[in-house]
Chains A and B, each alone.
Chain A
Amino acid sequence: MSEASTGAAAIEGSKRALHRVLLHRRDSIGSAYHVLTFESEKAIAVGAGQFAMVRSETWGAAPLLPRPMSLLTGGHRPSILIKVVGEGTRRMAVASSGEPFLLLAPLGKPWAKVPDGARPVLVAGGVGVAPLLYLARALSEEGSGAKALALYGGRTAADLPLERELAAVSEVRVATEDGSRGTKGRVTALLEAALDEARVHNQAIKVYTCGPHGMMAAVAAMCASRGAPCEVSLETPMGCGYGVCLGCPVPRKAGGYLYACTEGPCIDAAAIAWGGEDAGALAGHGALAPKAGGQGS
């Protein structure tokens, strides 16, 4: 991951384009997670939190659609974190060095910058760590302000990919549902404690979160009730990733829908109708891979 810094400081990213890249290396993390690192002739300037639509040229007519994946790194060595959950990620998980892929990138809105004086608190669930690790690295590289606090939750100790990499650039606290690592319980309990601490120390914070829908909804609700600003990286099925298929609607608090690919994925949690009548459909039953390779295929 020595190339991690490449492009990390880029803001707003560059013009989106279709990049033909070769798989440089695939690193397995346990049985379910892999980091795919590509070789791109052209440097891809990525803003923290932006994503790519990823498809192998070897797939032919199936799987048909590219998979939305948060970028872990950009530049000449763009990389993604995947969790094997369906046919697309299963193929990615057995891809060999040299396999040609198409990367449509950079896509979507990056994370908003940390407000002056606020400490960034990153709340990650499993594979949702990807856009937050990018952010933590970018903040660490910038070197201004307080070190980010990262709260990282997973079902078991095996569901905390890239924890070490995260720890290199932030202060990490871990929770697992089965207690096999860190605090036993949910990551939202860690967030509650962090919000309490911040209040005691009169420290302004800004929460950034990415993970399963239920987790993000809980984080958003907790932040809203505590008056803490919160930004989420939306996880929905996506067809195209660039605003034409209209397959990634998310209920907007003001009514109607916003589209995760162009108005997100990074967006103020307060803009979303988390408990809306439509929200159930966002709870990870998506047929396609939610961005960041969470619960889909």
Chain B
Amino acid sequence: MSGVDLSVKVGSLELKNPILTASGTFGYALEYDDFFDVSELGGICTKGLSLLPRAGNKPDRIAETAAGMLNAIGLANVGVEAFCTEKLPRLRERKVTVIANIFATTIPDFVALAERVDREEGVAAVELNVSCPNVDKGGLEFGVDPAAAARVTEAVRKATRLPVWVKMSPEAGDLRGVGIACQEAGADALTAINTIRGLSIDVRTWRPRIANRTGGLSGPALKPIALRMVWELSRAVKIPVIGIGGIANAEDAVEFLLAGATAVQVGTASFADPLAAKKTLDGLAAYCAERGIAARDLIGKMVG
């Protein structure tokens, strides 16, 4: 499969291939040492990092649904300081392309997070989580309102030399409006989409199956919606769109590239198979090799 050109450019950032892993589904990537060399991937998005460590929500946090799952983890994470001092040096050693996903409830905190990771070697981009549905405040409200999304983006843009990606919420009434606002505010790329809120009830106990009541739906059940949104968004903006939502294999990844994504993120699939991202990459290489094309030749090439 040598000779297949899988490289893509997400704005100024060159990735060796378009296969990334999604924030919250891949830990800090060090968990995969037993399984495969994650530096082979285009990149990894860290678990959402906050200024202080977060313990996360009460159990139960996850529930399986038809071809998908609900989660309300509550952004449990080690905190940006521990990430920078304990995780990042080991990722640097492994030459992993790291996208730092950051989460805050205020604009100054988003800025502080961006400045903190900006001081480190080995961070390729920051991804703003303005679309988490599972925290009391600061999650969704930035992501569903074009003006608020633009304010966060602009403030972070000014605070860092790193490329700024903004993770879109499918719950924005005007997804294209939010995307365009982020673009105007200086975003380098848009990641679409985060989970969409769902509910599942245990009929034996009449209780919601997760303690937070609602949780974010992910997995194959989400894919057609995500694909449609990536298609619409990529036609509305000039900056690259990174596709995410139910991608479990190379065929799924190809669909997102054809719909207009420049790169993709493998998420929930990694839970069922820790090698899912690696298999997606290998499958994409085979797909391109068979057709004698480069990965970038697929981007936005849906026919009709």
Contacts and interface: CB of A to CB of B under 8 A. Distances in A.
Interface of A: 15-18, 55, 61-66, 102, 104, 236-237, 239-240, 242-251, 256-257, 277-278, 281-282, 285-288, 297
A55 B27 CA distance: 21
A243 to B, nearest CB: 5
Nearest to A277: B58
Contact of B271 (A15, A240, A287): A240
B222 to A, nearest CB: 11
B73 interface: yes
A237 B27 contact: no
Contact of B205 (A17, A18, A285): A285
A250 B76 CA distance: 13
9 contacts: A66-B271, A237-B62, A240-B270, A240-B271, A240-B272, A244-B25, A249-B59, A251-B59, A285-B60
Q: Which 9 A-B pairs have the closest CB atoms?
A: A287-B63, A247-B62, A244-B27, A240-B271, A61-B220, A287-B209, A281-B59, A61-B67, A62-B67
A288 B59 contact: no
Interface string B175-210: 000000000000000000000000010101101011
Given A242-B274, A243-B27, A249-B56, A288 B34 contact: no
B271 A244 contact: yes
B17 interface: no
Interface string B204-246: 1101011100000001110000000000000000000000000
Given A246-B61, A249-B61, A286-B60, A18 B66 contact: no
Given A17-B34, A65-B271, A244-B31, A278 B59 contact: yes
Interface in B10-43: 25-27, 31, 34-35
Interface residues of B, number: 41
B101 interface: no
Contact of A65 (B60, B248, B272, B274): B272
Contacts of A104: 274
B66 A256 contact: no
Contacts of B209: 285, 287
A281 B68 contact: no
Contacts, number: 115
Given A65-B69, A240-B270, A285-B205, 14 more contacts: A66-B271, A102-B273, A236-B60, A239-B62, A243-B31, A244-B270, A245-B271, A246-B61, A247-B71, A250-B59, A257-B55, A278-B58, A278-B211, A281-B60
B61 A18 contact: no
Interface string B47-89: 0000000011011111110111101010010000000000000
Given A18-B273, A287-B202, A64 B34 contact: no
Given A61-B220, A247-B73, A281-B59, A18 B274 contact: yes
Nearest to B70: A287
Contact of A64 (B31, B204, B272): B272
A161 B280 CA distance: 41
B268 interface: yes
A15 B34 contact: yes
Contacts of A281: 58-60, 211
B289 interface: no
B172 interface: no
B298 interface: no
Nearest to B207: A285
B201 to A, nearest CB: 10
Contacts of B76: 246, 249, 257
A240 B210 CA distance: 17
